[in-house]
Amino acid sequence: MQRQNDLSSQPGMPQVAIIAAMTGNLVIGSGNSLPWHLPEDLQLFKRLTMGCTIIMGHKTYTSIGRPLPGRHNIVLSRSQKNLPGVQVCDSFIACLTAAAQLGRKVFVIGGEELYRKALPIASELHISWVKDTIPGDVHFPGFDLENWIICESMNHPGFRYIRYQRKDSR
């Protein structure tokens, strides 16, 4: 069986970037929604992902409620087969294969389970670190920042955006 870490080395697999907003204790959601209101973060998300391929889990898609315009939307779902305006795939490898055929930059945008699958193969992290401590019931998987290099950092009201690159992907 193919190990998760080997996916990125398969011929034709796209480079994967992860984009997430989270608190210092890795909270990314509460009650199937974002537990904060940061308009500048949403604008940053839109600017970074516009024209790209975005991969999300079914719960993330449901919380957004519609396909995000200006991006190719791929939803990972084992139960849904048809969602208007999105491409549905039944496995993470199928999502990556579909994304590779499009030739665009690929962002994984959530949720927790999909981040867990993407983290071992991601070459970039785009993290908006929410400055407040906010409770939640959905968390980003634990990861070691020692494996990442800070390439860009910007302070915004309510959050600090940092773009990381994996040390071994340079």
In the block, residue with structure tokens 């779902």: 77
**Going edge to edge, which strands form the sheet with 87-89?**
87-89, 72-76, 53-57, 106-110, 16-22, 122-130, 159-166, 148-156
- Report DSSP letters for 131-170, one per residue: SS----SEEPPP--GGGEEEEEEEEETTEEEEEEEEGGG-
Please state the rounded mean pLDDT for residues 126-141. 97
Instruction: Give the pLDDT of residue 4.
Output: 45
**Average pLDDT for residues 42-50, to the nearest whole number?**
98
Element (H, E) at 57: strand 53-57
**Torsion angle defined by CA atoms of residues 153, 155, 159 and 165, in that order, rounded to the nearest 10 degrees:** 0
Percent of the chain with pLDDT over 70: 92
For the whole model, what pTM was predicted? 0.91
In the predicted model, is pLDDT for residue 3 greater than 70? no
DSSP state of 24: T
Judged on CB neighbours under 10 Å (0-12, 13-18, 19+), 34 is buried
pLDDT recorded at residue 1: 35
According to DSSP, residue 30 is labeled B
Domains in the chain, CATH or no CATH each: 20-169 (3.40.430.10)
Query: What distance in Å separates the CA atoms of residue 62 and residue 81, rounded to the nearest whole number?
Result: 14
Per-residue pLDDT band for 2 (boundaries 50, 70, 90) equals very low
